[in-house]
Amino acid sequence: MFEEITKQIKEIKEIVVVTGAGVSQESGIPTFRGKDGFWKNYNPMKLATIEAFYENPKLVWEWYNERRENIFSAKPNQGHKAIVELEKYATVTILTQNIDGLHQKAGSSNVFELHGSIMKIKCTVCNFKSSQIEKFSQIPPLCKCGNMLRPDVVWFGESLPQDVWKNAIAKASQCDLMIIIGTSLVVSPANTLPIYAKQNSAKLIEINPEKTEMSSKMDLVLRKTGAEILPKLISIFKEN
Ligand code: NAD
């Protein structure tokens, strides 16, 4: 199958890269479902919800502050860099579930952040949004309107920003190749993106050391890490 895809590479014009926490694991950012993914003995799946936020906003803010510090000092790895290079050979759109901004830091030009950004905040009530994260004098910080500010990320159970999701579906529905990296594909609706691509007869490649819910639907599965295999995959484009 690898050879078959290699043969078709010349015809590939539109590539969609779907990424999850695993693509940043080699930059030192823990995944949610990996063995290294726990923080202070709390379950991230139970912290990243609006219910958790209202129950203990201080705890959730502390968790995001700690994650933000880790992310701020993280550098893109060979996987992120290889995806940037892919732009030399085709139109590349990245649909990422990550909130770490590492694709942009690496230099990718077309990134849709499906789950928002840890570098942004918004008000829980009014329309205030900002990318100015300062050292707040109190946690949780308050908006000028008097209500609590929160990270501008999509929590479990929340809807994705409509415009971002609409664009994501459109891109997934028109690509020739979808490369899916470092996602367990259990978070909805991002896990439906491969289905949209398949409807357009796109080839699907999964890069993940572990099996996922959708591995059986893939045309090619590479059981390697992003930093290991992406530079090799990109070299095939170079040779063609
Ligand atoms: P997940 O934690 O559910 O799954 C991570 C997947 O990555 C697993 O399938 C694992 O096998 C794979 N993986 C681990 N190391 C890898 C590597 N080096 N290379 C390739 N694959 C590797 O992550 P998810 O599917 O993205 O869903 C979790 C949610 O958590 C998302 O909404 C995401 O926004 C959020 N999250 C984001 C970050 C980040 O921004 N870096 C980090 C943790 C969680």
Q: Where are the domains of the chain?
A: 1-28+76-115+159-240, 30-73+124-153
**Which pLDDT score, from 0 to 100, does residue 235 have?**
85
**Which pLDDT score, from 0 to 100, does residue 35 have?**
59
Question: How far, CA to CA in Å, does 89 sit from each of 35, 171, 205, 238?
Answer: 36, 17, 17, 8
Average pLDDT of adjacent 10-residue blocks, the chain of 240 residues: 66 94 95 63 81 95 92 97 95 98 98 97 96 85 96 96 97 97 95 97 95 93 96 84
**Domain 30-73+124-153 annotated CATH 3.30.1600.10:** yes
Ligand 1 within 6 A of 158 CB? no
**Which pLDDT score, from 0 to 100, does residue 144 have?**
95
Which residues make beta-bridge pairs with 113?
96
**Which pLDDT score, from 0 to 100, does residue 44 have?**
77
CA 142–ligand 1 middle distance (angstroms): 30
**Which pLDDT score, from 0 to 100, does residue 2 have?**
61
Question: Alpha-carbon distance 207 to 22, whole Å?
Answer: 9
SS3 207: strand
Q: Which CATH architecture has domain 1-28+76-115+159-240?
A: 3-Layer(aba) Sandwich (3.40)
* Active-site residue, selected from the candidate residues 67, 80, 103, 115: 115
Ligand 1 within 6 A of 191 CB? no
Ligand 1 within 6 A of 221 CB? no
CA 193–ligand 1 middle distance (angstroms): 16
pTM attached to this predicted model: 0.95
Place of tokens 């090799």: 232
**Which pLDDT score, from 0 to 100, does residue 192 have?**
97
